[in-house]
Amino acid sequence: RKEVEQDPGPFNVPEGATVAFNCTYSNSASQSFFWYRQDCRKEPKLLMSVYSSGNEDGRFTAQLNRASQYISLLIRDSKLSDSATYLCVVRGSYIPTFGRGTSLIVHP
Amino acid sequence: DTGVSQDPRHKITKRGQNVTFRCDPISEHNRLYWYRQTLGQGPEFLTYFQNEAQLEKSRLLSDRFSAERPKGSFSTLEIQRTEQGDSAMYLCASSLPQGGSYNEQFFGPGTRLTVL
């Protein structure tokens, strides 16, 4: 089993839709969790950290479920500009482990 | 531009040649990371420095890979005797430390290596 697993997609949704991605991790000692966004042929950029109590940033909501060892990202009111690959990141000690990413395509 | 920079952006080399990539982190960042990313995969951690100390190198892919950060500023990643399987994007990232917790990593644009 991979340390961090994501459904590669693509998720193909219309503008305005709500879409959710999950990411599972295998190391129960993992301490920190993040979502990064990566546009085609660009470098990854931090989208948001994921806190135990869940957190929201505008249209984006991140949740952590330690018991089931997964994190989620919810995007509401999808925009064309949300089209990208979303990478989840899990950190145990100081080595971050990236998932393979989930591709999102938002169409008009 | 005060972000992370990498040089070169693209490198084409023949199998068996040595290549070296450079990363200049954000100036106040003392943590520096190297990753490899292949098509359809997320970045794969290779090694990490805090200042000039290389604190983790067990994830370097083979003994052909080595990295340095001699003065705690820029870093180099060298691949000796390149193989076609080394073809990938090599990403560098830097961050501030904060009591051992994770700080946001800022990535450079990467060096795309093609081994013929």
Identify the pLDDT of residue A52: 86
- Band (B102; pLDDT cuts 50, 70, 90): low
Over range A75-102, report the average pLDDT. Answer: 93
pLDDT beyond 90 at A75? yes
pLDDT in tens, A6-47: 999 999 999 999 999 999 999 888 888 999 999 998 999 999
CA A88, B22, B99, A92 torsion-angle sign: positive
Instruction: Give the Cα-Cα-Cα angle A9, A89, A65 (nearest 5 degrees).
Output: 85
Would you call A32 and B101 a contact, using CB atoms and an 8 Å cutoff?
Answer: yes
Is the pLDDT assigned to residue A93 strictly greater than 80?
A: no
Residue reference for tokens 């990141």: A89
| Chain A residues close to B109, C-beta within 8 Å | 42-43
Indicate if the pLDDT at residue B98 is higher than 70.
no
> Three-class SS string for A29-75?
CCCEEEEEEECCCCCCEEEEEECCCCEEECCEEEEEECCCCEEEEEE
Share of chain A above pLDDT 70, in %: 99
Confidence bin at B61 (pLDDT 50/70/90): confident
Q: Judge if the upstream peptide bond of residue B8 is cis by omega within 30 degrees of 0.
A: yes
- Asked if B102 and A34 come within 8 Å (Cβ–Cβ), the reply is yes
The better pLDDT of the pair A94, B41 is held by B41
Highest-confidence segment of A30-39, B10-19, B67-76: B10-19
Element (H, E) at A102: strand A102-107
pLDDT at B100 over 70: no
Average pLDDT over residues B25-53: 93
Shortest Cα–Cα distance, A98 to chain B (Å): 5
* Alpha carbon distance, N-terminus to C-terminus of chain B: 33
User: In the structure, what pLDDT confidence band is assigned to residue B99 with cuts at 50, 70 and 90?
Assistant: low
Interface test mutation site (partner B, options A21, A43, A45, max chain B beta carbons within 10 A): A43
In whole angstroms, give the CA distance from residue A75 to residue A65: 18
pLDDT over 90 percentage in chain B: 76
- Looking at residue A106, its pLDDT comes to 98
Q: Give the whole-angstrom CA distance, residue B71 versus residue B81.
A: 26
The string of DSSP letters for chain B reads --S-EEE-SEEEE-TT--EEEEEE--TT--EEEEEEE-TTS--EEEEEEETTEEEE-TTSSSTTEEEE-TTSS-EEEEE-S--GGG-EEEEEEEE--BTTB--PPEE---EEEEE-
Q: Which of A46, A95, A100 sits opposite B41 (nearest CB)?
A: A100
Smallest CA-to-CA distance from A6 within A87, A92, A96 is with A87
Please tell me which of the candidates B40, B43, B45 has its beta carbon nearest to residue A44: B43
**Least confident range of A36-40, A62-66, B35-39, B98-102:** B98-102
| Pairing assessment for the beta strands A55-57 and A4-6 based on DSSP bridges | unpaired
Residue A94 to residue B105, Cβ atoms within 8 A:
no
- Strand partners for B59: none
Report, as an integer, the average pLDDT of B34-58.
93
B18 in Cβ contact with B82 (< 8 Å): yes
* CA neighbor of B76 nearest in space, from B35, B31, B4, B20: B20
| A95 with B48: Cβ contact below 8 A | yes
**A74 - beta bridge partners?**
A20, A61
Question: What single letter denotes the amino acid at residue A83?
Answer: S
Residues B36, B113: Cα–Cα separation, whole Å:
10
Which of B32, B47, B102, B106 to mutate to probe the A interface, most A CBs <10 Å?
Answer: B102
Mean pLDDT of chain A: 94
Distance in Å, alpha carbon of A76 to nearest chain B alpha carbon: 24
